[in-house]
Amino acid sequence: MSGVFSRDFAARTPLVDHAEGVWIHTADGQRYLDGMGSAGVIGIGHGRTEIYEALAGQGSKVSYVYTASFTHPWQEELSKSVLSVAPEGMSAVYFVSGGSEANETALKLARQYHVERGEPTRHKMLARWQSYHGVTIATLSLSGRTSWRAPYDPYMLPVVHVSPPYSYRCAICGPDGDCTDHCIEELERTILLEGPETISCFFAETIVGTTASGVTPGPEYYRRVREICDRYGILFICDEVLMGYGRVGRPFAIEDWGVTPDMITCGKAIGSGYAPLGAVIVSEKIAGFFREGRRRFVHGFTYSGHAMSCFVGQKVFEIMQREDLFRRPAEIGAYLHERLGALQQRHEMIGDLRGRGLYAGLEFVADRHSRAPFAPDQQITSRLVAMMRERGVIVGAGVPGANYGKGGDHIQISPPFIISEAEIDTLTGALDEVLTVLGQEPRMLAAE
Ligand code: PLP
């Protein structure tokens, strides 16, 4: 795509030769530590040739069948595997090719569920600002990433956005507070104002990813979301495309809140980059309703439940189980957060350190006391990412605009689940150097 849309981008972008473990090797002989796990995709690490060897054996028995006409062993097997690690109460899985497709599928399933139950007025969706759910028109409509929505604004669907529990930037509870009370009040007020009978579902990234790097709700937040959704007949859908499937040290992030959503969407680590794969994990409440009424979900991509992707997904699952990778990010992630915490002590410009397991978000400020962001002209995020790359480490640039439209610099660190302590030291060592350089520059505060 880069070659088609921008020659300049193609010229600047390194050509990959091979990748192994947490390392990406380019054709010019450089190597890069994949500190963002290639957009949070890589769980089991790069270069697991056993997956393709298995594919060449058993996997080559069926490359493709249309899943409206047939099912196949790989889909059946992977469904069982995914359900074996999913929260209790989930009973079906719908496989797609990625995260946007998973979310698009979930919102359609929610809508059809209400229509079939005789509640066709439920057409609006609730979601949160500072969130990202995908690039299709429907999933972009759900997303609260204002900069990406802007060009397509006239196409946006009826989604009502509420505040995420982003305490570091919260004018009500302050940086060390817990936004649960007022976020829940806002959610309920919004439902009542819109009319509960018009609302289909509430979509939330369990822990916010790229748009506000690691914003994590307080311990009561999702229990109260669940209560409100139940009270008003609204389906609760967790987007765990980035945070699910092991990244936070559990199969699914929502487990930390002890709540069962109506659907969980996942992508990225479920295929770990070895094949395009996403999934919607559906609760018995919904799956049973369709099954018992012999209702057909009016949906289906040509590549829903793709045989090769499901086969690869099953091999990824087996490696995850064998090497305890659904749990390892908790332990090794604690080490990552400890190292980053030490950097925060030393570098005034790290305002906030967020996230769990092998996901860390760092928000940068020009003044730690007032939390004033840097002036956008100082281009902290893009320069930091480039300086890290010069030192052979890739980290993810957070999307500007998290700070209520006033810019805001943040990065994300989301390495493969197999990263070692020594590799984390390499990553944090490079970050220490870069922050030392940037910290010596005069600080330009963003205009009020
Ligand atoms: N949801 C979340 C939380 C994501 O982070 C992403 C991608 O970054 C998506 C959905 C969209 O997934 P995909 O790019 O696979 O369509």
Query: Does ligand 1 lie within 6 Å of residue 267's CB atom?
Result: yes
> Which atom from ligand 1 is nearest to the alpha carbon of 276?
15
Same domain for 276 and 408, yes or no, is no
Q: Are strands 124-128 and 16-20 parallel, antiparallel or unpaired?
A: unpaired
| Biggest alpha carbon–alpha carbon distance for the chain | 67
Q: Summarize pLDDT for 398-442 with one digit per residue, the tens.
A: 887 677 666 689 999 999 999 999 999 999 999 999 999 999 998
Residue 132 Cβ < 6 Å to ligand 1: yes
Mean pLDDT lowest among 6-10, 17-21, 26-30, 79-83 = 6-10
The whole-number pLDDT of residue 207 equals 98
Least confident of 16-30, 161-175, 245-259: 161-175
Domain boundary among 290, 322, 354: 322
CA of 103 to the centre of ligand 1 (A): 9
What's the distance, Cα to Cα, between the start and end of the chain in Å? 39
The number of the ligand 1 atom at minimal distance from the alpha carbon of 100 is 16
Pocket test for ligand 1, best of 38, 96, 100, 137 (most atoms within 8 A of CB): 100
Tokens read off for 5: 């849309």
Determine the Cα angle at 129 with ends 126 and 133, to 5°: 70
Query: CATH number, domain at 343?
Result: 3.90.1150.10
Indicate whether 21 belongs to any domain: no
Q: Are 363 and 352 in contact (CB under 8 A)?
A: yes
Strands 235-239 and 199-205: parallel
Of 10-14, 95-99, 269-273, 295-299, the one with minimum mean pLDDT is 10-14
Q: What are the strands, taking DSSP E only, across 209-277?
A: 235-239, 263-266
Helix and strand counts by DSSP (H, E) for the chain: 15, 15
In a domain, 145, yes or no: yes
Count structural domains, the chain: 2
Whether 274 is in a domain gets the answer yes
Nearest CA to ligand 1 atom 14: 99
Query: Is 399 within 8 Å of 211 (Cβ atoms)?
Result: yes
How remote is the CA of residue 264 from the centroid of ligand 1, in Å? 13
For residue 246, the number of C-alpha atoms closer than 13 Å in the C-beta half-sphere is 31
Residue 90 lies in a domain: yes
- Ligand 1 close to Cβ of residue 241 (< 6 A): yes
Let me know: does 308 contact 275? Beta carbons within 8 Å. yes
Q: Is 37 in the pocket of ligand 1 (CB under 6 A)?
A: no
Q: Of 274, 307, 322, which residue constitutes the final position of a domain?
A: 322
Check pocket membership of 262 for ligand 1, CB cut-off 6 A. no
CB-CB contact of 78 with 310 (8 Å): yes
pLDDT value, residue 10: 59
Q: Is pLDDT of 3 > 60?
A: no
Report yes or no on 196 lying in a domain.
yes
pLDDT of residue 1: 45
pLDDT digits (tens, 9 = 90+) for 340-386: 999 999 999 999 999 999 999 999 999 999 999 999 889 999 999 99
Q: Do 297 and 425 fall into the same domain? A: no
Residue 7 is predicted with a pLDDT of: 58
Token duo for residue 348:
């005034």
CATH of residue 294: 3.40.640.10
Provide the ipTM.
0.99
10 in any annotated domain: no
Mean pLDDT of 309-320: 98
Among 295, 322, 349, give the residue marking a domain's end: 322
- Alpha carbon distance 355, 423 (integer Å): 19
Instruction: Please indicate, yes or no, whether residues 239 and 343 belong to a single structural domain of this protein.
Output: no
In a domain, 446, yes or no: no
Residues near 82 by beta carbon (within 8 Å), at least 6 away in sequence:
93, 270, 279, 281, 317
| 312 Cα: distance to centroid of ligand 1 (angstroms) | 19
pLDDT at 172 over 80: yes
Residue 317 CB neighbour total at 10 angstroms: 23
Atom of ligand 1 nearest to the CA of 103: 10
Which of the given ranges, 52-66, 249-263, 434-448, has the highest pLDDT on average? 249-263
Give yes or no: residues 266 and 352 share one domain.
Answer: no
98 lines ligand 1 (CB under 6 A): yes
Q: Residue 286: phi, psi to the nearest 5?
A: -90, -50
CA triplet 25, 27, 28: central angle to 5 degrees? 100
Q: Same structural domain for residues 338 and 389? A: yes
Q: Which domain holds residue 135?
A: 53-322
Would you report the helix, strand and coil content of the chain in percent, each value rounded to 5? 40, 15, 40
Residue 416 in any domain: the answer is yes
238 Cβ closer than 6 Å to some ligand 1 atom: no
* Shared-domain flag, residues 310 and 331: no
Q: How far is CA 392 from CA 206, 276, 421, in A?
A: 31, 27, 17
CB 200 within 8 A of CB 228: no
Supply the Cα-derived Rg of the chain in whole angstroms.
22
Question: Does residue 372 sit in helix, strand or coil?
Answer: strand
Sign of the torsion angle spanned by Cα atoms 74, 80, 85, 87: positive
Q: What is the pLDDT of residue 405?
A: 64
> Ligand 1: which of 139, 215, 268 to mutate, judged by most atoms within 8 Å of the beta carbon?
268
Do 234 and 99 sit in the same domain of this protein? yes
Note whether 163 and 193 are same-domain residues: yes
Q: Side by side, which strands form the sheet with 350-354?
A: 350-354, 360-364, 409-413, 396-397
